[in-house]
């Protein structure tokens, strides 16, 4: 049934995008600027449905003469109704204010064409207790689809009955949304038609005493701050929503929109789209206003999970080291494809460990925080979380074994949402890949540069570890 739906979709849509469950909301410019196409759904950072951008032109195909012999993936789960923080801090207050306003005589949305839908609009989250943090209906399909795409990409790395399929593993942190994403992914890997057990999902604890041996190191790091970045992001929120509030006020609805209301409506564009398939909140904002919303989360994640949080590289490093060691090992016959499902935090932490998307490298400044001014957008920034952690966003490491006229030997490349992302000064191999020994040096050097997990986190419990050992 699920499979049938996928086939139907790809026939109906002539331009096949990563996943076309949701129609794009595209803002265009005047008739002389036909190249300008602004897809709102690609600027919602962690609320963006999965998409791929390729700005550096590198092909995701293996370079000629090269074969991918091993790969390790770290994947964020599929679409959810809302995360608990967004729901409690942002959506719920707006929904309440909207509800209250419906009984006020001086509030009338029907006169404002853009906002008239609010007269009859109801929340897509109808039962927060049951829905918040859960996969949406489309979530399972997205993860299934992702599994099928990896099956196309790595047919030679999938287990067959002969190579003992029953021991093939996929890892998932323990939350329902990550576990369910892994299950749906697993079904997709085999087209959902395999009747025998074809492997197992290994659940990894999300506890506070896991040390580094977890896919959710932010939860076992006492010094990790969930609220980091909120202060800075809020300054920007107050700043950029001013003009939106004025624009809405001029529509004469009588509803006094607050900064939080604007944030909630922008988040609802994303959440309602993955719940209902589309959202009338998307077209009410301009491209400029979407870029401001995107910048809000880029600021927040910069201070919470990126280069603005000094501990970030130490939290991502255990996965980088463990996965790089897997790639470096001589070829084994048991498993060559390592897929792990986790939450939005981990891919961002891993990118800082790898030294990718560091604004400072481009700006040439030492104080990274100055690359996030709070009174204007830094349009030059490298840290754009829409491109990093959309739903199902992932970081992957591929080992390429090459035997061509130009390149012989083993190489490693990083993929971010399927697209190659060359490492700084470690890109002399084919198509921007890094020779395996240089790559291992690169990882060793970065590993040595940052404090180990337990130390940087101030871990107090005795049985902590600095090593991610789930793959051995
Ligand atoms: C909604 O109205 C109720 C009752 O008048 C009030 O207690 C509550 O604070 C209001 N909520 C918001 C978010 O305005
Ligand atoms: C809201 O405004 C519209 C158009 O001006 C009007 O027809 C309608 O009766 C108003 N609704 C309320 C509840 O006042
Ligand atoms: C497959 O792996 C299982 C678990 O390690 C083992 O018990 C079984 O003998 C293996 N089967 C084959 C055909 O190698
Ligand atoms: C997670 O899923 C399990 C099994 O499907 C269910 O029993 C449990 O209530 C779910 N947990 C939450 C927090 O929803
Ligand atoms: C440490 O012990 C706790 C409590 O028994 C356990 O939950 C946790 O997984 C252990 N941590 C490690 C890194 O083994
Ligand atoms: C909006 O603000 C104006 C001016 O402060 C006030 O008169 C009006 O009652 C407010 N409307 C609502 C719905 O709170
Ligand atoms: C950036 O700001 C954060 C939070 O204030 C701070 O912890 C960090 O050290 C700053 N980074 C630099 C390079 O100054
Ligand atoms: C980011 O880049 C700056 C400038 O090159 C460098 O000083 C800093 O160490 C980098 N941060 C990390 C975590 O790699």
Per-residue pLDDT tens over the stretch 37-80: 999 999 999 999 999 988 889 999 999 999 999 999 999 999 99
Closest CA to 46 of 197, 233, 206: 233
Nearest CA to ligand 7 atom 1: 308
408: exposed, middle or buried (Cβ count in 10 Å: 0-12, 13-18, 19+): exposed
Q: How far does residue 280's CA lie from ligand 1's centre (Å)?
A: 25
Q: Phi and psi (nearest 5°) for 410?
A: -110, 145
Closest CA relative to residue 392, chosen from 148, 62, 123, 40: 148
- CA 151 – ligand 4 centroid, Å: 29
Ligand closest to the CA atom of residue 306: 8
**98 SS3 class:** helix
Residue 194 — pLDDT band, cuts 50, 70, 90?
A: low
CA of residue 320 to ligand 4 center, whole Å: 30
- Checking if the pLDDT of 403 tops 80, the result is yes
Point out the ligand nearest to the CA of residue 174.
4
CA distance 240 to 260: 12
Question: Which residues' Cβ are closer than 6 Å to ligand 7?
Answer: 303, 308, 310, 367-369
**What average pLDDT does this structure show over 9-25?**
58
Using CA atoms, how far apart are residues 414 and 416, in angstroms rounded to an integer?
7
Burial of 119 (0-12, 13-18, 19+ CB in 10 A): middle
Closest approach atom of ligand 8 to CA 312: 13
Q: How confident is the model at residue 372 (pLDDT cuts 50, 70, 90)?
A: very high
pLDDT band at 334 (very low <50, low <70, confident <90, very high): confident
Centre of ligand 5 from the C-alpha of residue 349, in Å? 22
Determine if ligand 6 sits within 6 Å of the CB of residue 249: no
Structure tokens at 282: 């998307």
Q: Residue with the nearest Cα to atom 1 of ligand 2?
A: 108
Residue 393 pLDDT exceeds 70 = yes
Task: Evaluate: CB of 167 within 6 angstroms of ligand 2.
Answer: no
Answer yes or no: is the C-beta of 210 below 6 A from any ligand 5 atom: yes
- C-alpha of 91 from chain center: 21
Instruction: Please list, residue by residue across 285-319, b when 16 or more beta carbons sit within 10 angstroms of its beta carbon and e when fewer do.
Output: bebebbbbbbbbbbbbbbbbbbbbbebbbbbbbbb
Whose C-alpha lies nearest to ligand 6, atom 13?
255
* Per-residue pLDDT at 335: 87
State the pLDDT confidence band at 363, using cuts at 50, 70 and 90. Answer: low
Q: Which ligand is nearest to the CA of 302?
A: 7
Summarize pLDDT for 232-242 with one digit per residue, the tens.
999 999 999 99
Strands (E), 321-461: 337-342, 394-403, 408-416, 419-420, 434-435
Among protein residues, the one with the nearest Cα to ligand 5's atom 4 is 209
> Ligand 2 center to residue 108 CA distance, Å?
6
Ligand 8: atom nearest CA of 361 is: 5
Beta carbon of 120 within 6 Å of any ligand 5 atom: no
Nearest Cα residue to 397 out of 320, 318, 341, 305: 320
Apex 270 CA angle, 264 and 275, nearest 5:
110
> What was the pLDDT predicted at 364?
66
Residues near 27 by beta carbon (within 8 Å), at least 6 away in sequence:
37, 38, 40, 286, 287
Pairing relation of β-strands 419-420 and 434-435?
A: unpaired
Produce one character per residue of 62-87: b if its CB has 16 or more CB atoms within 10 Å, e if not. Answer: bbeebebbbbbbbbbbbbbbbbeebb
More reliable by pLDDT, 229 or 5: 229
Domains of the chain: residue spans and CATH? 2-81+134-228+299-457 (3.40.50.1240)
User: Which ligand has the nearest atom to the CA of 461?
Assistant: 5
CB 266 within 8 A of CB 290: yes
Q: Give the three-class secondary structure for 171.
A: strand
- pLDDT of amino acid 21: 84
pLDDT tens column, 415-458: 999 999 999 999 999 999 999 999 999 999 999 999 999 999 99
In the reported structure, the alpha carbon of residue 369 is separated from the centroid of ligand 5 by a whole-number distance in angstroms of 36
- Residue 79 alpha carbon to ligand 2 centre in Å: 37
Q: Which residues does residue 66 pair with via DSSP β-bridges, in sequence order?
A: 402
């Amino acid at each position: 049934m699920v499979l049938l739906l996928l086939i139907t979709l790809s026939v109906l849509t002539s331009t096949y995008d990563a996943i076309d469950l949701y129609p794009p909301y595209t803002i265009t410019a005047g008739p002389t600027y036909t190249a300008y196409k602004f897809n709102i759904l690609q600027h919602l950072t962690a609320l963006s449905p999965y998409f791929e951008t390729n700005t550096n032109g590198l092909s995701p195909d293996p370079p000629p003469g090269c074969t991918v012999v091993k790969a390790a993936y770290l994947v964020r789960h599929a679409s959810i109704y809302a995360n608990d923080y967004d729901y409690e801090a942002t959506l719920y207050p707006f929904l309440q204010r909207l509800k209250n306003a419906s009984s006020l005589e001086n509030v009338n949305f029907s006169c404002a064409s853009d906002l008239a839908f609010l007269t009859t609009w109801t929340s897509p989250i109808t039962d927060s207790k049951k829905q918040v943090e859960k996969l949406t209906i489309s979530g399972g399909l997205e993860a299934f689809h992702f599994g099928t795409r990896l099956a196309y990409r790595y047919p030679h790395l999938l287990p067959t009955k002969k190579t003992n399929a029953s021991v093939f593993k996929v890892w998932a942190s323990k939350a329902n949304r990550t576990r369910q994403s892994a299950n749906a992914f697993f079904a997709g890997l085999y087209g959902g038609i395999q009747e025998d057990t074809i492997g197992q999902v290994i659940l990894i604890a999300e506890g506070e005493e896991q040390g580094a041996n977890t896919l959710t190191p932010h939860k076992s790091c006492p010094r990790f701050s969930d609220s980091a970045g909120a202060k800075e992001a809020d300054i920007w929120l107050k700043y950029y929503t001013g003009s939106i509030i004025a624009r809405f006020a001029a529509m004469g609805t009588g509803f006094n929109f607050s900064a939080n209301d604007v944030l909630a409506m922008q988040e609802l564009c994303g959440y309602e789209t993955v719940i209902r398939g589309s959202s009338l909140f998307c077209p009410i904002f301009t491209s400029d206003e979407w870029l401001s919303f995107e910048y809000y989360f880029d600021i927040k994640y910069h201070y919470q999970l990126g280069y603005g949080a000094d501990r970030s590289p130490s939290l991502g490093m255990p996965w980088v080291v463990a996965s790089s060691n897997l790639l470096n090992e001589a070829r084994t016959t048991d498993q060559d494809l390592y897929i792990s499902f986790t939450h939005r935090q981990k891919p961002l932490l891993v990118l800082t460990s790898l030294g990718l998307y560091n604004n400072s490298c481009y700006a040439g400044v030492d104080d990274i925080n100055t690359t996030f001014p709070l009174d204007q957008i830094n349009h030059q920034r490298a840290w754009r979380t829409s491109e990093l952690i959309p739903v199902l966003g992932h970081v992957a490491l591929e080992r390429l074994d090459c035997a061509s006229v130009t390149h012989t030997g083993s190489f490693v490349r990083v993929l971010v949402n399927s697209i190659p992302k060359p490492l700084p000064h470690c890109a002399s191999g084919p198509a921007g890949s890094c020779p395996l020994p240089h790559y291992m040096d690169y990882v060793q050097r970065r590993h040595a540069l940052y404090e180990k997990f337990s130390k940087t986190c101030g871990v107090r419990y005795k049985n902590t570890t600095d090593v991610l050992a789930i793959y051995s």
